[in-house]
């Protein structure tokens, strides 16, 4: 039996097809990487989903024959299929403004407490529940979240993988089944919601015409199709006393639990209970993440990130800090101008150079990590001895050190490709090559480069900066 597995990993700014070989340990290779740029049509921000699918097919062809394929992506966004099971239009991007005011209307009609008790989900204006209520559903017979849509195109099989379904606001957090009483109360068609799949279950074999395009045939396996679920599965932890930060465009910061936390305090702190691998709960909060830095770089064409990071390390500490989760930072656009405006709004002098902006962003993000980790510990009662920072942000040494300093805890950085690793390891377990979540994590720890950062900054300075944001 082949020990090669392909991971289709779609992020909010780029996608890639990764190839894993478990013949001797765990070797991961990037086969194809491609940009994921939104498109604007008729005033709406969309994903170029057919362009992404074309890149995926090219990547699978380049990967060669594998034992199976798994697909993960960002959460909440979806495609609608008509009665002929054709896509009705490009999926709308979660950063589009069509859901303005919808969350408030739903809370007013259903009740915020009821919503949280059912789904355990934090309130984010772009959650699927609000997108569907802002959408035109006439003629739609099913809704497929992004990885499920790709899986349908690959295999012809319709379904919804549970870790991503848990981000919709329409899954019962206790039973991990669709919350049909809530769906009915909201007036959404029950038929839109397809049968649920668990990570590790078979999706189906590649369609004949897909196999002809890629040059081989193999099954598609359901993985933790929400990219954070796959990333957390690959956290190289050796016990339960850890927090994680999956850091990329977004930072998802929290702890792994056996049961959801549905207290009034948890709801007030806007913490979410999302489904993880093997019945675990990803108890976390979204922090805006490296999006702020990515948008700053777009505003500075030709800038060199490595040089900016080097210069930022020498800038004055805490000259300006902002709350990275302010709604003003959510849309794309001129991020430096918005950071400057937020500094002026809060009585601070805006940064005076690109390096100073980078310092502001990274210190602010580390403060966001600190708040989320500390609240997760307090609200869940979980002791934390180490923070595992995985994803692309683990390559940012300055951010990793700031996070250790801000949290007052050691930070273990890596693996950078945690999402792809979690994806392929669920496939490998379905093939009988690994036994359980603990062995998956042990394999990651043994095979991937990791770096440990000890807290070294002035704790009082971080306390004062946190108080400024509070």
Catalytic residues, by residue number, are 227
Instruction: Kindly report whether the peptide bond that precedes residue 327 is cis, defined as omega within 30 degrees of 0.
Output: no
Q: Helices 459-469 & 354-380, crossing angle to 10 degrees? A: 90
Q: What are the strands, taking DSSP E only, across 231-365?
A: 242-247, 251-257, 272-275, 281-287
- With beta carbons less than 8 A apart as the criterion, state whether 206 and 154 touch: yes
Q: At a CB cut-off of 8 Å and minimum separation 6, what does 86 contact?
A: none
How many residues are listed for the chain in this entry? 470
Nearest residue to 428 (alpha-carbon basis) of 420, 104, 243: 420
Q: What are the strands, taking DSSP E only, across 325-378?
A: none
Neighbouring C-beta atoms of residue 252, cutoff 10 Å: 27
Exposed, middle or buried: residue 62 (CB in 10 Å: 0-12, 13-18, 19+)? middle
**DSSP-derived secondary structure letter, 176:** -
- With beta carbons less than 8 A apart as the criterion, state whether 290 and 247 touch: yes
Sign of the Cα torsion 458, 463, 464, 465 reads positive
Sign of the Cα torsion 318, 322, 324, 329 reads negative
């Amino acid at each position: 039996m082949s020990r090669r597995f392909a991971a289709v990993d779609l992020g909010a700014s780029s996608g890639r097809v990764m190839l894993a070989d478990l013949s001797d340990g765990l070797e991961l290779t990037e086969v194809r990487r491609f940009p994921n740029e939104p498109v604007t049509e008729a005033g709406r921000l969309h994903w170029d989903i057919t362009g992404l699918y074309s890149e995926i097919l090219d990547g699978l062809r380049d990967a060669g024959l594998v034992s199976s394929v798994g697909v993960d992506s960002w959460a909440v966004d979806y495609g609608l299929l008509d009665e002929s099971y054709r896509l009705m239009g490009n999926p709308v991007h979660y950063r589009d403004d069509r859901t303005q005011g919808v969350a408030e209307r739903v809370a007013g009609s259903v009740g915020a407490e009821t919503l949280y008790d059912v789904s355990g989900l934090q309130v984010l204006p772009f959650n699927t529940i609000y997108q569907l209520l802002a959408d035109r559903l006439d003629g739609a017979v099913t809704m497929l979240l992004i990885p499920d849509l790709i899986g349908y195109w690959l295999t012809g099989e319709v379904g919804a993988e549970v870790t991503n379904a848990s981000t919709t606001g329409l899954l019962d957090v206790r039973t991990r089944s669709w919350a049909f009483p809530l769906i009915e109360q909201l007036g959404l068609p029950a038929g839109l919601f397809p049968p649920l799949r668990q990570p590790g279950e078979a999706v189906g074999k590649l369609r004949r015409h897909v196999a002809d395009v890629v040059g081989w045939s193999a099954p598609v396996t359901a993985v933790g199709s929400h990219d954070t679920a796959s990333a957390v599965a690959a956290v190289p932890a050796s016990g339960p006393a850890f927090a994680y930060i999956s850091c990329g465009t977004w930072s998802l910061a929290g702890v792994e639990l056996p049961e959801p936390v549905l207290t009034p305090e948890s709801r007030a702190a806007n913490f979410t209970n999302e489904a993880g691998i093997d019945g675990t709960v990803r108890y976390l909060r979204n922090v805006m993440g490296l999006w702020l830095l990515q948008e700053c770089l777009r505003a500075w064409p030709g800038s060199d990130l490595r040089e900016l990071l080097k210069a930022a390390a020498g800038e004055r500490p805490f000259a300006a800090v902002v709350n990275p989760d302010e709604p003003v930072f959510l849309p794309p656009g001129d991020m430096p101008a918005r950071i400057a405006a937020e500094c002026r709004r809060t009585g601070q002098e805006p940064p005076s150079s690109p390096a100073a902006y980078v310092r502001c962003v990274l210190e602010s993000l580390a403060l966001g990590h600190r708040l989320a980790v500390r609240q997760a510990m307090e609200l869940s009662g979980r002791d934390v001895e180490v923070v595992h920072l995985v994803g692309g942000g683990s390559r940012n040494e300055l951010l990793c050190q700031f996070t250790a300093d801000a949290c007052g805890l050691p930070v273990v950085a890596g693996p950078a490709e945690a999402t792809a690793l979690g994806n392929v390891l669920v496939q490998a377990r379905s093939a009988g090559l690994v036994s359980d979540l603990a062995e998956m994590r042990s394999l990651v720890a043994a095979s991937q480069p990791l770096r440990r950062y000890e807290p070294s900054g002035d704790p009082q300075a971080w306390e004062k900066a946190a108080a400024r944001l509070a």
